[in-house]
Structures are given as structure tokens and as C-alpha cells.
């Protein structure tokens, strides 16, 4: 520690509660200017990170300038006195395997970044300038308003944002909670100027008023020792941030008083959804982290087991799902909410549903808090904290900095987990707030469209109708609170809580990746014992290959519906396991179905076998079937209202993948599907199958072999006449190969969003180490310039992506822009950008180029932080059937030999305009207001032009005449799965 540093630290807090497995070191500091800092020293980390949180958010926006706090967040990134260049910060970070972001919430704003560990000092130096000397230049101000505006346009037709603003707009007039937080060009520029306010002056004023060190908190995570990390605070002048001695703002008044409560708000959604959310104003419980009384309450109301509110609502056929939870909305007030997704039938029974909810709450009130429920929750939380996975550094820095605003140093890591105190009196007190007169209901359905008395929420234009709930209805709710219901009762004690945490006997064979321990005509089994994370955890995943699932749209629909029914019928019996940290997921894939079980190892094999048995042995009644089928149909229909970038990805897939069913195709076959078909489907699926299994974690080879045998036996006994797959029944998916020089455009005219989107794909070819690595490097080199040029300088859109796309054994480079500008113009600007970025790469000094390569290598070599993340990497290799477990090492070896000329050579061969082997596909999703006639003119012109730009007029066009790419050869020499078609069994 330097002498200079002694003067910046006012107080040290060395004792910080941490998990038993946690080897990082922590130190809390309060600096002389009031910033509270948590330092985290982790010599093993391969990323360093930092976050700074300021206790100012959009509730502090001046009423005449909605969105100012958010705008200020955007502007801080764009140049400081010490580093005036607008993209200096992002440029530095991307050059060193880093990234950054920020967000503005109601009462705080959080800035965070991560970077290669040896570059932490340089990143901190640039970061701290935001709070020492931001520039807020004139030119950036005007442009960045457009970025905020474009961000708002993206949210404009998004139901989640719309519902939130409806909730806010119903607050007491004049309460800060009712403000519009994002802001847009109208609020920040046009309206401001009309009122004689210059936005830049307002920004400066806002920053001057609120960005005070005494309401800032910070977290820094690095490889360095705590003393060295501490010295950075002095070197980079954290203590020089201005202390304006601000008082922390706390809202003493709730946003909803008697006048706003007892009301029902009907809301018309964009998507076809039906839901009720019932909210109760609740106190700010941040300070009660040792007892978390709200957790007790939401655990019971949101329970999904036998006797729960959800269980009964499902039996009645009224709901799809239910959640309950508590949030602190801003310092001083919170909200307890029960959210229910309704079935069609359920929409007709809103009152009865609410009565049932009050029956359940009434039961909790009259039976009083139960200590055993609290103890069970406390035990589960304690185990979670003991064996907590390591967090990703940037996410951790951001969370901890935010938490430090209100939580003492000692508890800053443990506060979300440990429940040390039981406070029955407080639970009772809070339960007594869950009463009809303290409630507000929001009911969402398209059937309210155009009903008499509707008005529009001013910011998003959402159609709503606010009515006071009649006294008769309120009376019914009150009575429900005092009435018991025969079907409702508290849950049983949880049998799934893990008790054994020892490491299993160590394997003699050591391997860095999964080993094949069995391969026959029925199954392929992979296993690896974990010796890296040393947690009592495990992951088990099985892929059941049954080609019938993708045979036809009807079969695909049936498999999805079957999975939905299955998951639903398993939900009740497996809920306790889920609460106890034993999770499962079921998903359908092109090849069949997959099941993943994760969590504590002790009861995992048992649970996997139990679930496999249930795959083909579950009952579903007609009522429930109707609800689930209806919800699947709605999901399929609602896809059309998705964000343009979601649609562009969907259409790209439909255009280039050899066999892919569209949502409309699946909808078209819905009529032909009945309950009996779904019940039969499970067994039909098993007529011919192959099982691939991976177990990774605290397990042994012997246990895994036994598990695979048991699973095969279970599957065979479910369908006694089943047989192994023939080899030619299982075919990998392939992608359509455009011709060299092709440039196709597919257009979709959507009718929901004002913004449009352009997604350009440059096909590179079948994956191979060289192309994968060089394209990865090109992607890395163009990401920051794409953001800087297309988003910041040209304001083409708020969403700008570049990515390498691995699909069906091929690799491609993709660039995506979503925004308000004409999409044909954006398409041209992407082309111009490619030319300018090529020049940038050509002119890049050798040293910088080498830095970029080593930055990318560091990124690739980053260790997965958790056993689950490591598992996912292994599984990806198995799922694509390339089994290249040393992929990263190969990429790294190759990158070490790459020269700039190699990068330019590939760029000039496959990406640059006019390149000999360029294969370009642009999917354009037009904004809803784009002029149709003009679009048709463009199409006509392109068609007449002939060769150069070809408009794809229908989705199936390309597959009519283009060839398919092959698949890369698997890295491990294995015989294909199943049996030889000419040999029989
Ligand atoms: Zn933003």
C-alpha cells in the first residue's frame, strides 16, 4: 500500500461472510469521499471486472424531461476530458477481450465492465473518468438522443414494457413512480426545446446535481492482491470524485393509495396473451435480509405441489401457470404480486380465481406462520450458499455494487441467501396486508379491444380501461378470505433435500473431457468425473434420437404438444425436487427429445430413472389438454408479433436449412391433432430409437454404466416391440449452399413494429479449424467498429450485432441492424461499413493486431465458471455429433500462427463486395409503416436488374435448385449410430 493511499481510505471492513467453498478474498472500504467499495481478489480469475453504482435513477428525472437519467447513462460513455475520443472505452475493452454495459433503474444506475486481467488498470483509468470529467459534447448529445429514441421504438410494441407503464400510469398523480423512464426524442429534445430547455444544459445540470461520490458504491474484482487492488483506488483517483454530500432519496409515500387501490384495469395486449396480475403495495424490506419474511409468503402462494393454489386452478382448467413474488420498486416502497397466465376458460372466471387466491391467503393467515416451513427454506438456502457456483465476474461486480447501496459490508455476499432469523410476527403483519382493499388488478386480454370506456396510456398508447371494483365483488373477496377451501392445504415436508455432500471415489482413468464408456446399437454413453469444481453436483443429459419427430409438420407438432403435456403433468410431483435444487428440463430437437437433470448428485440417478419412466406413463385429462394445446397454438400465433430481429433469424433458418417447418405449417395441422394422438405418441416414438447419454460431475463410471442400462431397460419395457435405429434413418441436418457470387434478398413485411431489421449472412462453408478461427477473429475485429459506425455515428439502429454463426456443420458471418431507418438504406450502409472496416484492418499497426489476437485467445481460453457451463460445452460437441472436445486448443494453436494477410485474404475471398466466393443472403424485415408500393418497386427493379441482386420471392425458392453443404467429419473415429441397413440386427 502506498502512502498516498492511506489518505483515501476512511474505514476498512475486513470481515465479510462468504461461502465455505469460496476461496476469493474480500475487503470492504469506505473512501474519504464516501464511496463504498468491495475489493475481490481472485488469483485464478481469467477476467477482471468492475462496477460502479450511483443512487440516482429515472424516478429522479425532472417532470419536464422524462428519460434524463437514462440519457445521462448513455452520454457518459461518449468521451471524457482525459480520453476525448467517443469510442475509446469500448475500443480499449474489445481490444482486450472485454465488454461493458450499463442500466438505469428507478433509483440507481449501474455501470460495469470486464476485461483481461492484466488490463484492469487501463480499464479502471478509462472507467473512472466517467465520474470525474465526462464531456457531454454537443454533437454526441444530438446523436445519442437518436439512440435512446431507437431503444424506445424497440420497446414500443413490447407487451412487458407496455404493461409496466400501465401499472405506473395508475400511480397517484405526482408520484415519481408514474414517470416514463426510457425517454425518447420527443421528451428529451422536441418537448424540451419547446419549453425552452436545452437538453445538453439539462444533462450537465443533472449530472452535477446527482453524481455525488457519497451515493456511489463500487466493486472491483481482479487477480491482484487486496493491497494492490486497494492501491488502484488512489492511483486512479476514485477518491477525487466530487462529494456533494447528497442525502439518499427515500420515498416515504406509496405510489398507490386508497384512491388507486380496489381497481381493476383491463389492458389490451399486442400479443394474444391472457393474464391477471394482482398487486399489493408492500413495504421496502431491504433491511430485513436476515429474515426475508416475504420469501416465506411467496414460497407458499407460488407453490406448485399437491394442495397448492396452482394445483387447484389447473384442475379447474383455468390457468396455464402462476408466479408470486416480491420486488423493491425503489427505496421506501415495494410490491407483492401474483401473476397468472389464464386459459380461454379462465378469462371467464377471473373473480373465482381471485376468490381462490384469497381462500389460500386466508388459510395462511388463520393457521399462522409455521416454523418448519421457515426452517426448510433456511436449510435449502444455507446449502446453496455453501456450495454456491462461482459467478461470472462482471455479473457479480454489478450485483454487489448495487447491493452495497443498502446492505452492510459484512452481509453483502450472503444477504440474498442466508435466512438466519425467523420473524413470525413480521410474517403475520405482512400477511395481513394481502387483503382485497389493498389490492389492484390488471387483466390482460385482446377481447377488451375497443370496449366502451377504453382510454390510451399516454406513452405507449396501450388501450386500457380503469374501473373501481364493485362493493359486491369486494365483499365476495372478503368472504373468501374467511372461508376455507377443501382442496387447499400447506405443502408436505420436502423429501428431496440433499444430505450427502461427499466426493465419490476417484476414478483411476483421468481425462480432460468425456470418455466413451459404452457404444452399442442402442446407446452411446459418455462420462467424465469432475475434478475441477469439486462440488457435490452433477449433470445428466440424454438425447433420444427418434427420426419420426421431424418427419412431417404434424409429427413435429405432436412431439411438442406431447412434451408440453408431459412437463405439465410432472410439474406437481417434481416441484419439491426443484425447490431442493434438483432440476430437469425437457426439450424437443430435430432428432427427437432431450432430457437434462442437474443439481445435487445424491438423488440424481434415482430422479433421472423416475422421470424416464414417466415419459411414457403419464395421464392427462381433456380439460388440461385443451388448456395446454391452446397455449401452444397461441405461442405459435404470437411468433408473428415478435421483434423484427427474432423474425429475421427465423426466416434465415427457413431459407437455408434443408428441413425446417414454419410456425404457420405447424398451425395448419393443429386441427388434425386429438388427445388420443398425444397419448399414443410417446410409444410410437419408441418404435425405433437410439440413446446418447452424458454424465458429468460427482459420479463414477460404474454408476453411469448402471444408469445407462437401467434407462435402456425402462425404454424397452415401455415399448416391447422397439428396435434400434437403422443407420440411414438418422441423418444430420444440412444447409443450402448458395453459389459463389450470389446475393439474395428475402423480404418480410411485418405489421407490428415501427422498426425494421436487416440481417446479412455471409456463408463461409463447411466448418474447419482454419475458417472457424479466422472468421472468429474477423468477427472480433469488426464488432466494436460496427457498433461505433452503424449505431453511434450513423444512428441506424439501437440493436447492432455481429456474430459467427455455426449451423448444421457450416460457419457463417452475420451482421444485424434493427432500427427505424429504411432497411434498403441500412443494407447499403452495411456494405459500405465492410469496406471501411477492411481498410481499418489493413491499416491496423502490427502491435495492435497482435493484441487483438491475444485478446481473442484469452477469451477462448476463459474457463467456464461453473460445472453446468463446462457441461454445456461438452454437450454441444455431442449434440452436433462432431465430438471435437479439443476444439478450443486447436483454434488457439491456429490463431497463434495467423497473420494479418491471412485475415485480409479470407475477407477478400468470401466477404468483400465482388469477392470471388462471396455467398450473401440478406433477410429484411420491413417496419410496419414502410411504404408497400415503394418496396414493390425495389423488388421489381432488382428482378429486372437480373444477376446481381436476386430477390427471393418465396421461402422455398432456394431449395429448389441449390445444393447442400456436407457435414464436417467427426473428430473421433466412431461408427455411425444404430445398425447397418443391410445386415439387420
Ligand atoms: Zn439505454
Sign of the Cα pseudo-torsion (798, 803, 807, 810, in order) = positive
Q: Compute, in angstroms, the gap from residue 174 CA to the centroid of ligand 1.
A: 25
Rg (CA), the chain: 29
Q: Compute, in angstroms, the gap from residue 814 CA to the centroid of ligand 1.
A: 23
| 28 beta partners | 13, 38
- Annotate 335-359 with DSSP letters as a single string: EEEEEEEEPHHHHTTHHHHHHHHHH
pLDDT of residue 326: 97
Determine how many CB atoms are found less than 10 A away from the CB of residue 674: 12
Q: Are 45 and 117 in contact (CB under 8 A)?
A: yes
Residues 478 and 557 in one domain: no
Residues 753 and 818 in one domain: yes
pLDDT of residue 984: 54
905-913: long-range contacts (C-beta < 8 A, 24 or more apart)? 906/771, 906/774, 906/775, 906/778, 907/778, 907/838, 907/841, 908/838, 910/762, 910/764, 910/765, 911/762, 911/778, 911/813, 911/834, 912/834, 912/835, 912/838, 913/831, 913/834, 913/835
Task: Indicate the Cα dihedral angle 229, 231, 234, 236, nearest 10°.
Answer: -50
Q: Compute, in angstroms, the gap from residue 151 CA to the centroid of ligand 1.
A: 6
Provide the grid cell at 396.
Answer: 457479480
Torsions phi, psi of 594, nearest 5? -130, 145
Within 13 Å of residue 833, how many CA atoms lie on the same side as its CB? 27
Q: Are 556 and 703 in contact (CB under 8 A)?
A: no
Residues 684 and 773 in one domain: no
In a domain, 248, yes or no: no
For residue 178, give Cα distances in angstroms to 58, 164, 209, 959: 10, 10, 22, 53
Q: Compute, in angstroms, the gap from residue 366 CA to the centroid of ligand 1.
A: 47
- Annotate 848-906 with DSSP letters as a single string: HHHHHHHHHHHHHTPPPSSHHHHHHHHHHHHHTT---TTHHHHHHHHHHH--HHHHHHH
In a domain, 392, yes or no: no
In a domain, 488, yes or no: no
Q: Compute, in angstroms, the gap from residue 336 CA to the centroid of ligand 1.
A: 27
Q: Provide the CA 912 distance to its chain's centre, in angstroms.
A: 33
Residues 214 and 357 in one domain: no
Nearest partner of 814 among 791, 856, 782, 854, judged by Cα: 782
Distance CA 558, CA 548 (A): 10
pLDDT of residue 982: 85
Q: Are 41 and 224 in contact (CB under 8 A)?
A: yes
In a domain, 543, yes or no: yes
Tell me if residue 73 is catalytic: yes
In a domain, 397, yes or no: no
In a domain, 312, yes or no: yes
Nearest partner of 232 among 96, 133, 127, 124, judged by Cα: 124
**Residues 6+ positions from 109 with CB-CB distance below 8 Å:** 53, 54, 56, 57, 69, 72, 73, 102, 103
In a domain, 112, yes or no: yes
Q: Compute, in angstroms, the gap from residue 442 CA to the centroid of ligand 1.
A: 27
Q: Compute, in angstroms, the gap from residue 201 CA to the centroid of ligand 1.
A: 20
Distance CA 426, CA 781 (A): 56
pLDDT of residue 616: 83
Q: Look up the domain containing 185 and give its range.
A: 3-240
Distance CA 128, CA 126 (A): 6
Q: Are 69 and 139 in contact (CB under 8 A)?
A: no
Total number of domains in the chain:
4
Q: Are 88 and 79 in contact (CB under 8 A)?
A: yes
Residues 14 and 163 in one domain: yes
Within 13 Å of residue 71, how many CA atoms lie on the same side as its CB? 33
**Residues 6+ positions from 97 with CB-CB distance below 8 Å:** 47, 115, 116, 855, 856, 858, 859, 862
In the set 30, 73, 352, 429, the catalytic residue is 73
Q: Compute, in angstroms, the gap from residue 193 CA to the centroid of ligand 1.
A: 21
- Annotate 777-845 with DSSP letters as a single string: HHHHHHHHHHIIIIIIIT---SEEEEEEEEETTEEEEEEEEEESS-HHHHHHHHHHHHHHHHHHHHHS-
Residues in the chain: 985
Residues 721 and 779 in one domain: no
Residues 439 and 560 in one domain: no
**Block residue for cell numbers 408470486:** 324
Q: Compute, in angstroms, the gap from residue 942 CA to the centroid of ligand 1.
A: 37
The greatest distance separating any two alpha carbons of the chain, rounded to the nearest whole angstrom, comes to 86
**Among 462, 482, 502, which residue terminates a domain?**
482
Q: Compute, in angstroms, the gap from residue 294 CA to the centroid of ligand 1.
A: 31
Provide the grid cell at 240.
Answer: 477525487
Q: Compute, in angstroms, the gap from residue 148 CA to the centroid of ligand 1.
A: 6
**Among 729, 756, 774, which residue terminates a domain?**
729
Residues 275 and 183 in one domain: no
Which domain CATH number covers 87? Answer: 3.30.830.10
**Block residue for cell numbers 440411414:** 728
Residues 606 and 717 in one domain: yes
Distance CA 153, CA 793 (A): 18
Nearest partner of 60 among 221, 215, 190, judged by Cα: 215
Torsions phi, psi of 39, nearest 5? -100, 140
**Residues 6+ positions from 223 with CB-CB distance below 8 Å:** 41, 42, 43, 44, 45, 48, 117, 118, 120
Q: What average pLDDT values come out for the chain (985 residues) when binned by 10 residues?
A: 66 94 95 97 96 98 96 93 92 92 97 96 97 90 90 92 96 96 95 93 94 98 97 95 95 96 97 96 97 97 96 96 96 98 96 98 96 95 92 96 97 95 98 97 97 96 97 97 95 87 90 95 96 94 92 94 93 89 91 94 91 87 94 95 96 93 95 92 89 96 96 90 90 93 93 94 97 96 94 91 95 96 94 97 95 92 93 95 95 96 97 95 93 86 76 89 94 90 69
Torsions phi, psi of 575, nearest 5? -65, -40
Residues 546 and 624 in one domain: yes
Q: Provide the CA 166 distance to its chain's centre, in angstroms.
A: 24
Q: Are 833 and 784 in contact (CB under 8 A)?
A: no
Within 13 Å of residue 88, how many CA atoms lie on the same side as its CB? 21
pLDDT of residue 2: 47
948-957: long-range contacts (C-beta < 8 A, 24 or more apart)? 948/743, 949/743, 949/744, 949/745, 950/742, 950/743, 950/744, 950/745, 951/744, 951/745, 951/746, 951/747, 952/655, 952/744, 952/745, 952/746, 955/651, 955/654, 955/655, 955/662, 955/746
**Residues 6+ positions from 746 with CB-CB distance below 8 Å:** 651, 655, 921, 922, 923, 924, 951, 952, 955
Distance CA 799, CA 812 (A): 20
| 134 beta partners | 80
**Among 700, 729, 758, which residue terminates a domain?**
729
Residues 461 and 572 in one domain: no
pLDDT of residue 226: 97
Q: Compute, in angstroms, the gap from residue 261 CA to the centroid of ligand 1.
A: 32
In a domain, 398, yes or no: no
pLDDT of residue 719: 84
Residues 936 and 818 in one domain: yes
Sign of the Cα pseudo-torsion (362, 368, 373, 378, in order) = positive
Amino acid at each position: 500500500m502506498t502512502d498516498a493511499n492511506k489518505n483515501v481510505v476512511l474505514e476498512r471492513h475486513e470481515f465479510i461472510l462468504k461461502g465455505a467453498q469460496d476461496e476469493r478474498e474480500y475487503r470492504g472500504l469506505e473512501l474519504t469521499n464516501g464511496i463504498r467499495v468491495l475489493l475481490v481478489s481472485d488469483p485464478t480469475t481469467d477476467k477482471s471486472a468492475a462496477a460502479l453504482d450511483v443512487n440516482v435513477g429515472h424516478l429522479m428525472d425532472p417532470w419536464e424531461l422524462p428519460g434524463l437519467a437514462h440519457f445521462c447513462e448513455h452520454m457518459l460513455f461518449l468521451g471524457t476530458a482525459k480520453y476525448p475520443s467517443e469510442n475509446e472505452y469500448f475500443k480499449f475493452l474489445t481490444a482486450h477481450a472485454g465488454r461493458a454495459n450499463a442500466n438505469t433503474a428507478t433509483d440507481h444506475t449501474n455501470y460495469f465492465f470486464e476485461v483481461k486481467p492484466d488490463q484492469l488498470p487501463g480499464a479502471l483509468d478509462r472507467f473512472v473518468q466517467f465520474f470525474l470529467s465526462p464531456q457531454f459534447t454537443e454533437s454526441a448529445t444530438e446523436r445519442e438522443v437518436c439512440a435512446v429514441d431507437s431503444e424506445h421504438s424497440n420497446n414500443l410494441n413490447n407487451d412487458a414494457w407496455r404493461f409496466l407503464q400501465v401499472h405506473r400510469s395508475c400511480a397517484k398523480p405526482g408520484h415519481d413512480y408514474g414517470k416514463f423512464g426510457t425517454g425518447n426524442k420527443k421528451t428529451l429534445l422536441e418537448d424540451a426545446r419547446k419549453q425552452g430547455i436545452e437538453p445538453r444544459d439539462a444533462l450537465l445540470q443533472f449530472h452535477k446535481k446527482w453524481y455525488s461520490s457519497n451515493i456511489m458504491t463500487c466493486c472491483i474484482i481482479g487477480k491482484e492482491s487486496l493491497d494492490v487492488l486497494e492501491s488502484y483506488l488512489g492511483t486512479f483517483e476514485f477518491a477525487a470524485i466530487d462529494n456533494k454530500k447528497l442525502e439518499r432519496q427515500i420515498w416515504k409515500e406509496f405510489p398507490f393509495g386508497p384512491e388507486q387501490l380496489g381497481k381493476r384495469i383491463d389492458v389490451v395486449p399486442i400479443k394474444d396473451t391472457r393474464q391477471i396480475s394482482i398487486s399489493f403495495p408492500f413495504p421496502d424490506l431491504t433491511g430485513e435480509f436476515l429474515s426475508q419474511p416475504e420469501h416465506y409468503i411467496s414460497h407458499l402462494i407460488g407453490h406448485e405441489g399437491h394442495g397448492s393454489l396452482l394445483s387447484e386452478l389447473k384442475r379447474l382448467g383455468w390457468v396455464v401457470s402462476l408466479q408470486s413474488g416480491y420486488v423493491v420498486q425503489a427505496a421506501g416502497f415495494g410490491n407483492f404480486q401474483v401473476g397468472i397466465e389464464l386459459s380461454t376458460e379462465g378469462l371467464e372466471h377471473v373473480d373465482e380465481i381471485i376468490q381462490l387466491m384469497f381462500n389460500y391467503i386466508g388459510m395462511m393467515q388463520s393457521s399462522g406462520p409455521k416454523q418448519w416451513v421457515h426452517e426448510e427454506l433456511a436449510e435449502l438456502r444455507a446449502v446453496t450458499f455453501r456450495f454456491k457456483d462461482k459467478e461470472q465476474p462482471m455479473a457479480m461486480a454489478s450485483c454487489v455494487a448495487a447491493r452495497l447501496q443498502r446492505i452492510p459490508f459484512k452481509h453483502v455476499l450472503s444477504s440474498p441467501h442466508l435466512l438466519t432469523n425467523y420473524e413470525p410476527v413480521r410474517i403475520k403483519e405482512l400477511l395481513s396486508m394481502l387483503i382485497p382493499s389493498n389490492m389492484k388488478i390488471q387483466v390482460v386480454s385482446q377481447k377488451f379491444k375497443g370496449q366502451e370506456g377504453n382510454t390510451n396510456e399516454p406513452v405507449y398508447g396501450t388501450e386500457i380501461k380503469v374501473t373501481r371494483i364493485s362493493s359486491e365483488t369486494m365483499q365476495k373477496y372478503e368472504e373468501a378470505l374467511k372461508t376455507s377451501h377443501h382442496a387447499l392445504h400447506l405443502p408436505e415436508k420436502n423429501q428431496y433435500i440433499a444430505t450427502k455432500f461427499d466426493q465419490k471415489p476417484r476414478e483411476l482413468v483421468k481425462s480432460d473431457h468425456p470418455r466413451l464408456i459404452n457404444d452399442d446399437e442402442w446407446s452411446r454413453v459418455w462420462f467424465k468425473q469432475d475434478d475441477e469444481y469439486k462440488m457435490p453436483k452433477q449433470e445428466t443429459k440424454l438425447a433420444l434420437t427418434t427420426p419420426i419427430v421431424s418427419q412431417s409438420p404434424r409429427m413435429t407438432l405432436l412431439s411438442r404438444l406431447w412434451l408440453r403435456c408431459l412437463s405439465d403433468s410432472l410439474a406437481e410431483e417434481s416441484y419439491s425436487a426443484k425447490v431442493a435444487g434438483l432440476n430437469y428440463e425437457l426439450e424437443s430437437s430435430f432428432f427427437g427429445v432431450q432430457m437434462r437433470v442437474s443439481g445435487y448428485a445424491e438423488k440424481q440417478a434415482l430422479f433421472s430413472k423416475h422421470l424416464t419412466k414417466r415419459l411414457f406413463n403419464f395421464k392427462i385429462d381433456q380439460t388440461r389438454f385443451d388448456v395446454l394445446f391452446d397455449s401452444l397454438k397461441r405461442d405459435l400465433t404470437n411468433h408473428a408479433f415478435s421483434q423484427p430481429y427474432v423474425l429475421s433469424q427465423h426466416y434465415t433458418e427457413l431459407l437455408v436449412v434443408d428441413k425446417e417447418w414454419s410456425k404457420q405449417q405447424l398451425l395448419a395441422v393443429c386441427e388434425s391433432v386429438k388427445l388420443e394422438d398425444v397419448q399414443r405418441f410417446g410409444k410410437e416414438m419408441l418404435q425405433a430409437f437410439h440413446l446418447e447419454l452424458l454424465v458429468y460431475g460427482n459420479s463414477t463410471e460404474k454408476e453411469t454404466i448402471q444408469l445407462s442400462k437401467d434407462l435402456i431397460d425402462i425404454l424397452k419395457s415401455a415399448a416391447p416391440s422397439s428396435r434400434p435405429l437403422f443407420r440411414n434413418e438418422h441423418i444430420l441436418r444440412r444447409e443450402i449452399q448458395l453459389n459463389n457470387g450470389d446475393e439474395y434478398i428475402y423480404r418480410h413485411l411485418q405489421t407490428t413494429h415501427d422498426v425494421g431489421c436487416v440481417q446479412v449472412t455471409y456463408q463461409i462453408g463447411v466448418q474447419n479449424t482454419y475458417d472457424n478461427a479466422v472468421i472468429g477473429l474477423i468477427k472480433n475485429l469488426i464488432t466494436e467498429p460496427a457498433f461505433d459506425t452503424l449505431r453511434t455515428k450513423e444512428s441506424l439502429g439501437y440493436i447492432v450485432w455481429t456474430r459467427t454463426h455455426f449451423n448444421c456443420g457450416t460457419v457463417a458471418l452475420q451482421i444485424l441492424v434493427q432500427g427505424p431507418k429504411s432497411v434498403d438504406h441500412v443494407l447499403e450502409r452495411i456494405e459500405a461499413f465492410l469496406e471501411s472496416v477492411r481498410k481499418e484492418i489493413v491499416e491496423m499497426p502490427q502491435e495492435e493486431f497482435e493484441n487483438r489476437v491475444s485478446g481473442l485467445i484469452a477469451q477462448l481460453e476463459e474457463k467456464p465458471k461453473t460445472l453446468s457451463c463446462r457441461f454445456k460445452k461438452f454437450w454441444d460437441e455431442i449434440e452436433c455429433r462432431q465430438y471435437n472436445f479439443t476444439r478450443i486448443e486447436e483454434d488457439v494453436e491456429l490463431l497463434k500462427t495467423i497473420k494479418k494477410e491471412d485475415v485480409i485474404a479470407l475477407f477478400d475471398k468470401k466477404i468483400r463486395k465482388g469477392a470471388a466466393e462471396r455467398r450473401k443472403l440478406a433477410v429484411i424485415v420491413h417496419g410496419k409503416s414502410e411504404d408497400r408500393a415503394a418496396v414493390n418497386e425495389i423488388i421489381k427493379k432488382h428482378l429486372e436488374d437480373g444477376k446481381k441482386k436476386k430477390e427471393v420471392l418465396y421461402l422455398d425458392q432456394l431449395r429448389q435448385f441449390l445444393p447442400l453443404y456436407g457435414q464436417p467429419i467427426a473428430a473421433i473415429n466412431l461408427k455411425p449410430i444404430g445398425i447397418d441397413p443391410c445386415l439387420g440386427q
